[in-house]
Structure 1
Amino acid sequence: MFKRIVVGVDGSPASITASKYAFKMGNFYDVPVVGIYVIDVRLLEESFLADLAGVLGFTYYEGISGKIKDFLEKQGDTILTEFSSLGREYGAKVSVVQTSGVPYREIASQADPEDLIVLGRVGRKPISGILIGSNSEKVARHAKCPVFLVPEEERELKRALVAYDGSENAKLSLRICRSLRSLYNYEINVLSVQEEEEEVKRIEEEVRELLPEEHKFFYVSGLPEERIVSFAKDEGIDVLFLGAYGKGRFKELFLGSVTSFVIHHLDIPMFLAKVPMD
């Protein structure tokens, strides 16, 4: 199913939880697990540090960015050493990479289409609010491969939900869900949000062909993002499989996407599946 599992690590509790999921899946698929620590180059810009010194009241001097870079590199070494140690405890095949750049771009670029990226949903930021936006969501948007987003609290995965609309991304999410069932032994629920009865019948038959194993199929009407979130909450879903960013960029920019809405309204592990574009 996957060639490698790539984990973005920053030492936060969420990234440690993500690492544990990654090691279990790495053992299950018998593939390497690669930990990546990224030094955010935006934090080393002298103009940024001068402004920050004024806000926090510390003494700024030219060249301070070099000192901060040294500190971040040593911090990265420590975090990656801990990652490797934890991986050995799980018996996983572990390797590590430390690099610098814009975190979401670096993590997304390090992964190939055949890989899986695993990320904690709460990362470490030097000052809350300085870096706008979610690195995890940005990685999911830019990655060429599926992304598994993990909240800080690890949970037992008993009930899985696949949000299915018949798209290639949704089919990939269904395949991933089916593949991991042997690892987690969860109940599989499939939800389709459709308005036309004939389309519901077609989708249900398609799901039955792709997933011949036991599962429960549900369909509802309404706004897909809202119905997915409400179903997951009402039914006590532990992990969600979703085709990622299926709408066009123009609509995502102005109206938001189903994927973004679900990410911001559910605090459960979720696989965001995306078939690479030619």
Structure 2
Amino acid sequence: MFKRVVVGIDGSPASLIAVKHAFKIGKHFNIPVVGMFVIDERLLDESFLLELSSILGFTFYPGISARVKEFLEEQGDLLLKTFAEEGRKSGVKVSIVQVQGIPWKEIVNEADEEDLIVIGKKGKKLIKGVLVSSNAENIVRNALCPVFMLPDNDRDVKKVCVAYDGRENSKKALEIANVLKDVYNYEINVVSVIENLEEAKEREKEVKTVLKEGFRFHGIKGIPEEVLVDFCKKNSIDILIMGAYGKGPVREFFLGSVTTYIIHNLDLPLLLIRTTHEKG
């Protein structure tokens, strides 16, 4: 299913949880896990640092960006060393990458279509961090491969929800949910937002061609993003797996607006899927 796992590291609680899941998946499938630390080049801009000094109250001096870069490199070295040591102790094949650039762009460029990106939903901010929420959302919007986004509250994975609307990316979501079931041993709930009973029957029939058995189907009327958030909260869902940022009319299932709403209104792990031709 996946060739590699690429995990973004910044030392935040969410990124530590992301590493835990990356190791779990990498070990199960015996695939490499790449730990990536990105020095955000925007933090090295001296005009930005001058403005920041007036806000935080530190002394600005010409050339301070070199000291900031040195600090971030040292921070990255320490985080990546810890990542590599923990991975090897866990029996995971690990490698590490430290680069300078825009974090979301570097992580997207590192990952191939056959990979899985794993990131924390909320990273540290300003000088102390690399991955912030806007970076996480930009990764989801631009990555060619699935993105597993973890919040900063860890949980046992017992129940997942797969959002299904018949599009290619939601079919891919079903396939990935089926494969990861061996990793987490969870219960699969499939939610499809429908107009009538006939549509619900057709959707369930389509789902059975992928999952065959061992799932619960829920055909629910309503606004897609509100249905999904409500279902996940009321049913103690531990991971939501869904298509992301597809094209189409504004109110159709799995538009960017739906994905963005879900990201900002559900505080649980999100595994977001898109197919290559749906990028944009």
Q: TM-score over 0.5 for the alignment?
A: yes
Q: CA deviation at 1:248?
A: 4.7
Alignment partner of 2:276: what SS? coil
Aligned to 2:184: 184
Q: Is the 8 A contact 1:24 1:90 kept in 2?
A: no
Q: Is the 8 A contact 1:169 1:274 kept in 2?
A: yes
Aligned to 2:224: 224
Q: CA deviation at 1:135?
A: 1.5
Aligned to 1:264: 264
> Structure 2 length normalisation: TM-score?
0.93
> Structure 1 length normalisation: TM-score?
0.93
RMSD over aligned CA atoms reads: 2.0
Matched, 1:49 2:54: no
Q: Is the 8 A contact 2:125 2:132 kept in 1?
A: no
Measured in 2, the distance between the counterparts of 1:35 and 1:251 equals 37
Matched, 1:115 2:115: yes
Aligned to 1:174: 174
Measured in 1, the distance between the counterparts of 2:59 and 2:249 equals 44
Measured in 1, the distance between the counterparts of 2:105 and 2:194 equals 35
The one-letter amino acid paired with 2:230 is S
Deviates more, 1:23-32 or 1:52-61: 52-61
Q: CA deviation at 1:126?
A: 2.4
Aligned to 2:212: 212
Unaligned runs of 5+ in 2: none
Measured in 1, the distance between the counterparts of 2:251 and 2:81 equals 43
The one-letter amino acid paired with 1:12 is S
Measured in 2, the distance between the counterparts of 1:248 and 1:40 equals 34
Measured in 2, the distance between the counterparts of 1:56 and 1:154 equals 32
Give the 5 Å matches for 1:49-88. 49-88=49-88
Measured in 1, the distance between the counterparts of 2:249 and 2:117 equals 22
Question: What percentage of residue pairs aligned between the two structures are identical?
Answer: 53
Q: Is the 8 A contact 2:38 2:100 kept in 1?
A: yes
Measured in 2, the distance between the counterparts of 1:251 and 1:219 equals 18
Aligned CA distance change for structure 1 residues 164 and 256 (closer, same or farther; 3 Å): closer
Q: Is the 8 A contact 2:157 2:238 kept in 1?
A: yes
Aligned to 1:234: 234
Alignment partner of 2:100: what SS? strand
Alignment partner of 2:277: what SS? coil
